[in-house]
Structures are given as C-alpha cells and as structure tokens.
C-alpha cells in the first residue's frame, strides 16, 4: 500500500472500510488531514496501576495489570443479556472482569495473556468485579490503557478506540501541516508549533504538555476570530458609508408623539444608534432587548431619521407572523410622520408585489418590512440608508449580506435580538459590532408567574386553564413537534389538538396552528385567535416570536425540558401583554433531574439576560449561541469565556494587522481566514 499523505481519503487507510469512512464523514473526517485535526475533547489518566488486592468499590476508574486465568460467556437468566467474564490474577489476588453485550470478546481474550484493564469496580460475593473495563494487551506502546488516553468526539459505530488506532501511525505527518500562525507571532506568544501541539494532544506524555497544546490550538482559534473581526472593523470604518445626520428635533418630535414615555434604556440605545448613523463609517450595531422591552420603537426612530435625511430602510424578520406585526407597529408609529411603510412577504399577491417593488425603486416608499423576500434581486431601493434584521441568528450569512449589498454605499446595519447573548460572549463574537442593551421593561408589563407542572399536577393545571377561559381569557399550548414521533416519545401539536379538543376541553374552542400550513391558512387561524374566536391555540415554536395577543394570559408548554432556556423565555413573552395577570405553565414530560433544574431556573428568573448567563454556565458557550447559526466555525479547543486568552489574541491580531494589513506575508494565515470570509464580509 502506498504511504498516505495529508490529502489521502480515509477509506484508503488500513482498517477503514466504506462503512467506517461513512461514519467518519459524519464527524467531518474525509482525509488524513481531517483525521489529524480531529482533536480529543478530553483525556483519561489511566497511568496509575494498582494491584488486584487494592481494588475498592466506587465510581473511581481504576487500572490494573493482570493475567487472564480463564474466560467464558453466558446469558443472564431474565433479560438474556450476553455476558463475557474473565477471571484475572496478578500473583497477589484475583478479580473478575465482566463485559455486557459484547459476545465477540470471548474470542479476543486468551488464557494466559497479560492485560492492562481500566474501569469502575463493583463488589460482589465473589470479590471485586471490573465492569465493562477498557483493556489492552501489555506492550511497549500502549494506546488505550496505562497512559493519558485521548477521548474523541464519536458517532454511532465509531469509537475513540478505533480513532486512536487509525491516528497513531499517522502522527509523523503532522510535520507537513501548514501552521496558520507565523513563526514570529508564535514565538512572541511562547506557543508550540502546530505539529508538536497535535502530537501532544493525540499522544500526550504529561498533563502539562496537554495544557500547552490546548493553549496553542485555542489561541489560534481565537486569534483567527479576532483577526477577522478587526479586519472587518478597519474595512468598515475606512469604507464609504451612508451618513444619516442626527437631527435632535426629529428624535424629540418622535418621542413626544408616542402614547407612552420611552424608558431610559430606549433613550440610551436610540442615542447610540443615531450617533453611529451620523458617522462617516457605516453603523454596525447589535441591539439586545428582553422580550417586550421595546426594540421596535428604537428601530422606528432610526428609520424615521433615515427617512428625514432622504434615505430608505429595510426591516427583515424571520417569519411572516413577525413581519406582519412589525409592519403594523411601524406603520402606527411612523405614518403620522409621513413615512410610507409597506409589507413584502411570500404571500403578497403578484399585483400588490409589483406595486410595492415599483414604489421602492422609485423612492416613494421609504420603509419596506418583510421576510427573506427582501433579499430577492427584484427589491431595488434607490437610496438605501438603513438595514434592520430582527432575530438575525435565524437567517443565513448570505441572506444578511445580500441586504447590505443593495446599495453602492454601505448602509447602516442594525441587528436586533430578543435572545440575549451574555455580554462576555457578545464582546467575543461581535468584535466588529457596537452593542446596545434594553434591560428595562416599559411601564405596564407585569411579570409572568411561571411554575413547573409535573405529571401528577396536570388535572389541576387544566382546571386552572378552564377557570381562566371562563373569565374571558385565552391560552397558548406549545408542543415540541408538529406530528407524532415513535422514537422521541413527546407530544405533537396535531395529536394534542385532537386530545384537548375531544377529551380535556370538549366545550372550548381549540384552534391548531403549525409551520407546515400554507401561509394564508396560518394567517387566518392566527387571526381567529387574535380576534377572540378561539379559546386555545395549540401550536409549535412558530409562535416563538412576533405574536401579540393581549387577551392571552396562559402559556402552556408541553415537554418543556426539550426547549432551551432562551426559547422558553421567548414563549413566556407571548403572554403578559395585557392588563390581566398572566401565567406560564412548564409541563415536564420526562423525570430528568437536570431538566427539572433548568425548568425551575426559568420559573424563578424573569430576566432574559440572567437566563442567558445561567444557560451559559449550565450548557457552555457553544450550545448557548449555536456557532453554526451565527456562521462561525466551531471552536474545537478554545474556551470563549477565557477572557485572558481572548485579550491576548485580540492584541496579537491588532499588532499583526498593523504590520500585514492584507495578510500577504504568511500564506497559511490567509488560507485559514477563508472560513471567516462570508461571516465578516471579507472579500
């Protein structure tokens, strides 16, 4: 067989057949290069070997060196589970090792051979029993036991053991990998070369070396992220942007025209946005605001300022429901000021669509609200000055960039989200973005009473819903799925609608709404509920954002543990919008202690920002923000909360750009930056 190179497909490696190659592909492993860059998520230390006589029962993983006295297999009498048992001896004592549902091991274990075994120990009448231990024959080059053992991200049928055996003979090829970090920078930061760091992770000799290797890889990931953000910032500030002069009289007149008083947070956010729009470099700002905190009003003031200066604005929302709500709100706020607010969605009739597109192209309509339909080529604003994207993480990177490129000069860009990102992460992920936060709630918004409902409390919860409906109120019922799933075992909207309307609430008007329905049907059903023609709306996450029914006072969430904390908080924000006390009932579907703790956190925390911080601590940054949703590469090693390393990476990025602004001095660095090109609009 020809010696493999970095670009050799993994299916050509010894021990990798078509089936394993398919499994590797699920992990993004297609070539030898990918395999070498598939990094361990942790290491198990099985170097301390004890005698069989010193084994103790408990959760601690223990390692022994012993000889196989005999081996056999049998089935348990009740569940007929296959067991492989080996009696072990080391000259001082004996013990037993047991493997469950691995009958093939009886052919692999041989009497008289010496093994290293590592696992948890249970004490039975016959003595200590190693349960499902990892094992390996004693040799000079241990791969699996008796060392710092790398544990990799796995998939069904592809184990860390198999990956270790494939990676070990390929480690000399790490010297051929191009190092994205220039030598001068790496030496200045005291970091290992790439090849040395990879060998230290795949075949470590000490915990200290593992730490240095992880620092090296983590620094590179954060350095590339910061380099992309700082390049984008320098390019933006040096480019030709649309300047929207800040007219205090316009802002004051808008605020005075409102039927309510702006909160201090709204005033601060609006001032920051309007000041940014007046600068030569185009604005790039993220407005984070809790559910119901009044982000749309702030965006309306920015759109009015653009209109006053002779520019147009586009407002894009992720769903038709939310787009319609934004259109209604913005039209009510801005029509008195002479702003023509139009709506363009997929369901817009062809005749109306032609009229809207013509008005925008002629500059007659200065504010166009819509869904992804706004990104289509036919939408040609003549003087685009402001782009607003709500819940921007729900759009692809390309969709957002198409909006920003509908003008020769770069328009001002405002992203809004009601799913707060913890500030520590926001500063990390949005290095090219200014930030505004709305933490105050407008007057009149009352906290929603939230409680976790176990299976035994369902009848009482249903009685409470009946009582609320009898008083004239309405309720949402959220389900995780549209239709039944035999594998997931959770309630679906379609089956729950049938059950509630026939068994639980036969005398109430129960409506069904989900995302698979045609747009017109969704609109009609939502309209009936908003008009009070239905008592309960059984639906899915399609109502996570953009639904405003002040008479709805109950949010009932089935299988609540299946949703993220931020999503549960979004659902809760659909109620509490009227004058009546509102309630959120979190129906727990499975008796999972960790899931229950997460639900209790929602029940006891009203602030979306606090929940975001809590979710960060409980699940980690990657799960909370969804790096892929933001278009960013996954961080294999870097801890996005390591502010010290982040600051080092940011400072290093700025220093390097001062010397090499075009990234021409070190080609591997420029190549590594390609994965950030679209995210930060780097051409």
| 612, 636, 670 - which closes a domain | 612
Whether residues 433 and 460 fall in one domain: no
Mean pLDDT of 332-357: 93
For 380, other C-beta atoms within 10 Å of its C-beta total 13
Residue 527: pLDDT band with limits 50, 70, 90: confident
Q: Which residues pair with 450 in a beta bridge?
A: 584
Is residue 68 in some structural domain? yes
Look at residue 321 in the predicted model and tell me its pLDDT: 80
Residue 556 forms part of a structural domain: yes
Q: Which residues pair with 155 in a beta bridge?
A: 158
- The whole-number average pLDDT for the span 33-57 is 93
Angle between helices 593-604 and 565-572 (to 10 degrees): 40
Higher pLDDT, 185 or 372: 185
Q: How confident is the model at residue 488 (pLDDT cuts 50, 70, 90)?
A: very low
Q: Which of 203-212, 226-235, 304-313 has the lowest mean pLDDT?
A: 226-235
Let me know whether 420 and 524 are in one domain.
no
Q: Residue 562 — very low, low, confident or very high, per pLDDT cuts 50/70/90?
A: confident
Specify whether the CB–CB gap between 646 and 428 falls below 8 A: yes
Residues 257 and 398 in one domain: yes
Question: Rounded distance, CA 431 to CA 414, Å?
Answer: 15
489: confidence class by pLDDT, cuts 50, 70, 90:
very low
Q: Which residue carries 């929302």 as its tokens?
A: 317
Instruction: Please report the pLDDT score of residue 637 as a whole number.
Output: 87
* Residue tagged 């760091």 (tokens): 197
Greater model confidence, 238 or 394 = 238
User: Do 390 and 470 have their domain in common?
Assistant: no
Two structure tokens written together for 70:
């005999």
**What distances in angstroms separate CA 96 from CA 52, 148, 607, one per listed residue?**
10, 24, 54
Residue 394 has a pLDDT of 61
- Contact (Cβ atoms closer than 8 angstroms) between residue 130 and residue 98: yes
**27 in any annotated domain:** no
pTM above 0.75, yes or no: no
Residue 675 lies in a domain: no
The pLDDT of residue 384 is 94
Mean pLDDT, the chain, rounded, equals: 87
Predicted confidence at residue 561, as pLDDT, reads 87
Q: What is the mean pLDDT of residues 211-216?
A: 96
With respect to residue 310, please indicate whether it lies within any of the assigned structural domains: yes
**For residue 486, pLDDT beyond 50:** no
* 385 and 462 together in one domain: no
Could you tell me if 430 and 460 lie in one domain?
Answer: no
Residue 450 has pLDDT above 80, yes or no: yes
Q: Identify the DSSP state of 411.
A: P
Average pLDDT over residues 212-228: 93
Answer for the pair 440, 264: CB distance below 8 angstroms, yes or no. yes
| Residues sharing a CB contact under 8 Å with residue 65, sequence separation 6 or more, in sequence order | 49, 90, 114, 115, 116, 138, 146
What is the Cβ-side half-sphere exposure of residue 443, based on CA atoms within 13 angstroms? 6
Q: Which residues pair with 477 in a beta bridge?
A: 538, 556
Domains in the chain, number: 3
Per-residue model confidence (pLDDT) at position 347: 84
Question: How high is the pLDDT of residue 395?
Answer: 60
SS3 643: helix
Residue 59 is part of a domain; what is its CATH number?
2.40.50.140
Cβ(41)–Cβ(152) below 8 Å:
yes
Domain end, chosen from 413, 438, 463, is at 438
**Same domain flag for 364 and 476:** no
If pLDDT is split at 50, 70 and 90, which confidence band does 487 have? Answer: very low
Same domain, 433 and 537: no
3-state secondary structure of 254: helix
What does the pLDDT look like over 102-138, one tens digit per residue? 889 988 899 999 999 999 999 988 889 999 999 999 9
DSSP letters for 263-277: PHHHHHHHHHHHHHH
Q: Return the C-alpha torsion angle 271, 272, 277, 283, nearest 10.
A: -160
Query: Last residue of a domain, which of 146, 170, 193?
Result: 146
| Helix pair 295-308, 320-334: axis angle to 10 deg | 60
Mean pLDDT, range 294-304, rounded to an integer: 95
Same domain? 503 vs 541: yes
243 domain residue, yes or no: no
Instruction: Kindly state whether residue 635 falls inside one of the protein's structural domains.
Output: no
Percent of all residues in the chain with a pLDDT value above 90, rounded to a whole number = 57
Distance (Å, rounded) from C-alpha 255 to C-alpha 94?
83
Does any domain span residue 207? no
Specify the long-range contacts of residues 182-190, CB closer than 8 Å, at least 24 apart: 182/656, 182/665, 182/666, 182/669, 185/652, 185/656, 188/652, 189/219, 189/648, 189/652
- Is residue 71 within 8 Å of 64, Cβ to Cβ? no
28 Ramachandran zone, left/alpha/beta (phi>0; psi -120 to 50): left
pLDDT at 438: 86
Verify that 278 and 420 share a domain, yes or no: yes
Tell me, yes or no, whether 426 and 461 share the same domain.
Answer: no
Query: In this predicted structure, what is the pLDDT of residue 423?
Result: 63
Domain ranges, residue 324 = 248-438
- The tokens describing 280, both together, are 């030569």
Q: How far apart are CA 482 and CA 428, in angstroms?
A: 36
- What's the CATH code of the domain at 465? 3.40.50.300
5-18 pLDDT, tens digit each: 999 999 999 989 89
Cα 11 to Cα 21, 34, 158, 283: the distances in Å are 5, 13, 14, 49
Mean pLDDT, residues 405-431: 75
289 and 311 together in one domain: yes
CA distance 332 to 516: 30
């Amino acid at each position: 067989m020809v010696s493999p190179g970095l670009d050799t497909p993994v299916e050509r490696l010894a021990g990798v057949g078509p089936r394993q190659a398919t499994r590797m592909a699920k992990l993004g492993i297609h070539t030898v290069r990918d395999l070498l860059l598939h990094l361990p998520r942790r290491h198990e230390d099985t170097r301390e070997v004890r005698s069989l006589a010193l084994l103790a029962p408990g959760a601690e993983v223990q390692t022994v060196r012993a000889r196989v006295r005999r081996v056999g297999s049998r089935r348990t009498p009740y569940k007929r589970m296959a067991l492989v048992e080996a009696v072990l001896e080391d000259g001082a004592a004996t013990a037993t090792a047991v493997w469950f549902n691995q009958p093939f091991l009886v052919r692999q274990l041989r009497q008289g051979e010496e093994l290293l075994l590592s696992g948890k120990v249970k004490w039975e009448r016959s003595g200590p029993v190693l349960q499902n231990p990892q094992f390996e024959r004693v040799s000079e080059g241990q791969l699996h036991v008796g060392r710092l053992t790398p544990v990799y991200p796995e998939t069904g049928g592809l184990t860390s053991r198999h990956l270790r055996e494939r990676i070990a003979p390929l480690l000399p090829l790490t010297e051929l990998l191009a190092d994205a970090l220039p030598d001068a920078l790496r030496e200045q930061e005291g970091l290992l070369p790439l090849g040395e760091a990879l060998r230290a992770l795949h075949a470590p000799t000490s915990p200290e070396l593992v730490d240095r290797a992880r620092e090296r890889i983590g620094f590179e990931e954060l350095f590339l992220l910061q380099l992309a953000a700082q390049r984008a910032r320098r390019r933006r500030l040096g480019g030709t942007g649309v300047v929207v002069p800040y007219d205090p009289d316009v802002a004051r007149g808008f605020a005075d025209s409102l039927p309510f008083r702006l909160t201090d947070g709204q005033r601060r956010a609006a001032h920051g946005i309007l000041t940014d729009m007046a600068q030569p470099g185009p604005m790039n700002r993220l407005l984070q605001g809790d559910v119901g905190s009044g982000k749309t009003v702030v965006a309306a003031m920015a759109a009015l300022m653009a209109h006053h200066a002779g520019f147009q604005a586009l407002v894009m929302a992720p769903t038709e429901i939310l787009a319609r709500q934004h259109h209604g709100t913005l039209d009510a706020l801005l029509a008195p000021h002479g702003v023509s607010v139009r709506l363009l969605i997929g369901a817009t009739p062809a005749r109306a669509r032609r009229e809207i597109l013509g008005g925008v192209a002629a500059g007659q309509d200065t504010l166009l609200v819509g869904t992804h339909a706004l990104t289509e080529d036919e939408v040609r604003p003549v003087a685009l000055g402001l782009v607003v994207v709500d819940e921007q993480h729900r759009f692809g990177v390309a969709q957002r960039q198409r909006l920003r490129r509908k003008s020769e000069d770069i328009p001002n860009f405002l992203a809004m989200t009601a799913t707060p990102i913890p500030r520590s992460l926001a500063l990390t992920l949005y290095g090219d973005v200014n930030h505004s936060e709305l933490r105050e709630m407008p007057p009149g918004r009352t906290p929603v009473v939230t409680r976790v409902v176990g299976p035994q409390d369902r009848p009482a919860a249903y009685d409470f819903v009946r009582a609320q409906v009898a008083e004239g109120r309405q309720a949402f019922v959220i389900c995780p799925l549209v239709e039944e799933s035999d594998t997931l075992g959770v309630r679906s909207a379609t089956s729950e609608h049938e059950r509630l309307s026939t068994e639980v609430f036969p005398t109430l008007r129960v409506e069904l709404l989900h995302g698979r329905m045609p747009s017109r049907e969704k609109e009609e059903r939502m309209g009936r509920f908003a008009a009070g023609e239905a008592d309960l709306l059984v639906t899915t996450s399609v109502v996570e954002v953009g639904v405003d029914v002040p008479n709805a006072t109950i949010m009932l969430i089935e299988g609540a543990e299946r949703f993220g904390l931020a999503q549960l908080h979004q659902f809760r924000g659909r109620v509490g919008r009227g004058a009546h006390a509102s309630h959120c009932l979190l129906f727990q579907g499975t008796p999972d202690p960790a899931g229950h703790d997460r639900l209790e956190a929602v029940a006891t925390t009203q602030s979306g920002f606090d929940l975001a911080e809590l979710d960060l601590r409980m699940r980690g940054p990657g799960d909370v923000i969804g790096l892929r949703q933001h278009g960013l590469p996954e961080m294999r090693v870097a801890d996005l909360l390591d502010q010290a390393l982040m600051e080092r990476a940011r400072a290093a990025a700025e220093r390097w750009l001062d010397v090499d602004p075009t990234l021409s001095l070190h080609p591997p660095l420029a190549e590594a930056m390609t994965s950030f090109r679209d995210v930060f609009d780097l051409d």
